[in-house]
Chain A
Amino acid sequence: MSATFLGMPGSFPENSREAVQNSQLRFNLRKATHTIRDKRASVVGELPDWQELRAAGKAIKDHTLRNLDRYLIQLEAAVTEAGGTVHWARDAAEANRIVTDLVKATGETEVVKVKSMATQEIELNQALAEHGITAYETDLAELIVQLGDDFPSHILVPAIHRNRSEIREIFLDKMPHVSADLTDDPPALTEAARLHLRERFLRSKVAISGANFMVAETGTLVVLESEGNGRMCLTLPETLISVVGIEKLLPSWRDLEVFLQLLPRSSTGERMNPYTSMWTGAVEGQEFHLVLLDNGRTDVLADEVGRQALRCIRCSACLNVCPVYERAGGHAYGSVYPGPIGAILTPQLRGMSSELDASLPFASSLCGACYEACPVAIDIPEVLVDLRAKAPHAAAEKAGMKVAGWILNDHERLARAQRAATRVRKLVPKRLPGPLSAWTDTRDLPEIPEESFRDWWERNERA
C-alpha cells in the first residue's frame, strides 16, 4: 500500500532543504528531466504549427470549462445510453464511498488499477484498504512506488526519483518469486514486473482507472499509456470503475485530434504514445461505472485567474523544465501534483490553511519556463502571483514589506534611506541576522556604494 500524502510534514522550503542535500536524488532527477526535456524540444520542433495547436488546445479547454455544466450532462446521457452508470462525487469522501460500495457489491477484495492521479488525489487505495479491499497498481512506475511504500513524485514518471538499482532492491524485497540473481538491467526489471503483473490481470475481476479525456458527444473515455498494462486493466476485468475529474471533458470527438498531438509530445517527447485505449459505456457481460469527481474543481472554476489551472492535461512538461522541481524533487510539494502545476493546483484544490499548502505558491522563482512549455498555455507565473496575494503572510514579513512600501512610495524618503545605508556601509556585517541570513549563508552581499545614483545625479546634473 503506498503512503498517503495527507498530513505530510513541513513547508516546501523545509522539505526541499533535505532534497537538495540528497545527491543521488539530485542526480536521478537531473538526468531524467533533462532527457525528457530534450526529447520534447526535438519533437515539438518538428511541428511548424505548434503554437497554433497550443492556442487551439487552450481555446477548446476554455470553451469546455465555460460550458462545463452543459457538456457534463451531455456526457452523462451518452454514457448512460451506452450502458454505463454515471455517479457524481462532490468530494474525496463521497467518491471513495461510491467506489468502495461498487467494489463491495461485486464481492471482490482485490482490484487492479491503471495509473490514475484522481484516485491518488482522493487517496482511494487507503479508503479501499479500510474496507478490506487491496488495490494493485499496474503502471510500472506506480507499481514501484507502491511496492516501495513510497509517494509518487512526478506526474508522468511517478518513480522518477528512483534509479534502477534502487528499483532492483525494491523488487527483490517486495515481489514474491523474484530470483536473487535479478540484475538492474531495464529488460530484466521489466520482465520481473511483467510476470508479477500478468498474474494479477488474469485473476482480477474489478479494475479501477482514470482517464486522460472524456468526450461529451459520444460518452467515450480515453486513456493514453506506454506499457499496455492499462489496456489489460481496461479490457480483462468484469467490472470497470473510472474515476475522472470533471475538467477532463472535451466537447467532441474532433477535439481529440488536437490533444492527441499535444499530449504525447509534451509528456514523453513522442510523436504518438504506444497505447491509446477508448471505451464507450459497457460491453456485453461487463459493467462500467463512471465516477465524476469535483473535489474542489468547481471552486477553482469560480476563480477568474486560477481557473486556467483546470486546462491542465497532466503532461508534466512544466515539471521537466522547472529548475525548482529539478532540485527540490516531487515529494517536497506534498501532493500527487508536484512541480509548477502542483504549486498552483494543490493550494487551489486543498486551500491554504496548512503550512505546506500556503508555501506552495512561493515554490517558484517565476522564471516562466513552465508557461513557455505548457501545451495549453497555462500562465503558471500569473496564477502563482495571484495565489501569493491570497496566501497568509508572516507578521514580520508584513511589517517589513509595509516599511519598504512606505519608503519606496516617496523619492525623498528613499533618498534619506539610501543616505542612512551609506553612512553605515562599513558596519554591515558579512553575515546578516534573522531571515536575511538565508542570503549570506551562501552569497556575499554587494557593497553599499558611497553615493546613490540619485545623489550623484543631483550633484552633477542639478548644479
Chain B
Amino acid sequence: MRVALFITCVNDTLFPGTGKAVVSLLRRLGCDVDFPVAQTCCGQMHVNTGYREEGVRLARHFTEVFAGYDAVVAPSGSCAAMVREQYPKLARPGSRGAAAIAEVAPRVYELSEFLIDVLKVEDVGAYFPHRVTYHPTCHSLRGLHLGDRPARLLRNVRGLELVPLPGAEECCGFGGTFAVKNPAVSAAMGADKTRAIMDTGAEVLCAADNSCLMHIGGTLRRQQTGVRTMHLAEILASTEEAQ
C-alpha cells in the first residue's frame, strides 16, 4: 500500500525521531511510504489562535499537497483531528475548497487508526521491555475517538508493561498557544498531570501527540523526575535488534 506521511511541522522541526520511527514501522509492515516534500503545517495553531485567514491558506496548501493519495498517515491525533474535524468548517459549503477537503480529509489517519483500521494489525512485532503509561491527549480522545486503539497496540508489544494513568482523560494543559497565553493555569494543569504520572511508577509516558509530550515532558524534566516521554510511534518501532 502506498502511504503518504504527514509528519507535521512540530515533528519535522523538533521531533524528527518520531518521523523516522513511523517510516521504519510502516516499512516493516510492508507499506510503500512517501513523504511529499511540499508539505508544511495543517494550520491548527493559526486557526485556533484566531488567525483564520492564514489557517485557511495552510489548509488549502495541505489539500493540494495530499490530493490523490490512498491514505495519509499522521503521527499526531491533534493534527489529524484538525484536518478531519475542523477543515470542513473552514470552507464555504459548495465551494471548490470544500470539495477538496471532502476529498482528502476522510483519508487522513492518525497512526494507530491506520494500523488497526486499515492495515488490520494489532501486533506490530515490537519489543520494549519497560513500564509505560499512556496519556490519551484530548484531540485523540474526543476529536478522533481513538478509544483503546493505542492501548491495544501497546499491549501487544513484547516486554512492555502498560500501567493505567489516573485521570487520563484530563487535559494536560498544553492547548497550543494556551500554554503561553494562560501560563498559570497551563502550568497548574501540567503539574497535576505529572503528579498522576509519577503515581503510576512508570518509566515512560507515551502519547500520540508530541506537542502534549513537549509540555508534559518539559515539566517532568524541569522537576527532574527521570520519567521519559516517547511518542507511540517510537515504542511501536522498537525491536529486539534495536535495543
Contact = CB atoms under 8 A, between A and B. Distances in A.
Interface string B168-180: 0111011111111
A451 B45 CA distance: 23
A365 B184 CA distance: 13
Nearest to A441: B183
A404 to B, nearest CB: 7
B49 A388 contact: yes
Given A408-B40, A454-B12, A461-B35, A366 B183 contact: no
B180 A365 contact: no
Contacts of B158: none
B94 interface: no
Interface string B36-73: 01111101011111111010011001000000000000
15 contacts: A13-B183, A17-B184, A365-B175, A366-B176, A382-B89, A393-B50, A414-B9, A414-B41, A418-B13, A438-B179, A438-B181, A442-B183, A444-B217, A446-B217, A448-B13
A12 B185 CA distance: 10
A371 B143 CA distance: 11
B142 A362 contact: no
B149 interface: no
Nearest to B89: A382
A235 B31 CA distance: 73
Nearest to B34: A461
A278 interface: no
Between A367, A397, A418, the greatest number of chain B beta carbons within 10 A of the residue's beta carbon is seen for A367
Closest 4 interchain pairs by CB?
A365-B175, A443-B218, A388-B50, A367-B171
B19 interface: yes
Interface string A340-364: 0000000000000000000001111
Contacts of B40: 408-411, 414
B26 to A, nearest CB: 13
A307 to B, nearest CB: 15
B16 interface: yes
A424 interface: no
B222 interface: yes
A285 interface: no
A323 interface: yes
B178 A365 contact: yes
A385 interface: yes
B16 A365 contact: no
Contacts of B61: 409
Contacts of B15: 446, 449
Given A401-B51, A405-B57, A20 B188 contact: yes
Given A323-B170, A371-B142, A449-B16, A442 B48 contact: no
Given A443-B222, A451-B16, 12 more contacts: A362-B182, A366-B176, A368-B141, A368-B143, A371-B142, A401-B46, A409-B61, A438-B181, A443-B190, A443-B218, A449-B15, A457-B23
Given A365-B174, A388-B48, A453-B16, A20 B184 contact: yes
Is the contact region of chain A dominated by helix, strand, or loop, or is it mixed? helix
A411 B39 contact: yes
Interface in A405-451: 405, 408-411, 414, 418, 421, 435-436, 438-439, 441-446, 448-449, 451
A364 B175 contact: yes
B37 A411 contact: yes
Given A388-B48, A388-B49, A454 B35 contact: yes
B186 A365 contact: yes
Contacts of B174: 365
Contacts of B12: 414, 418, 452-454
A83 to B, nearest CB: 48
A389 interface: yes
Nearest to B214: A446
Contact of A409 (B57, B138, B181, B188): B57
B11 interface: yes
B146 to A, nearest CB: 13
Nearest to B50: A388
Contacts of B143: 368
A396 B120 CA distance: 48
Nearest to A21: B184
Interface string A184-195: 000000000000
Interface in B125-158: 138-139, 141-143
A418 B183 CA distance: 26
A421 B13 contact: yes
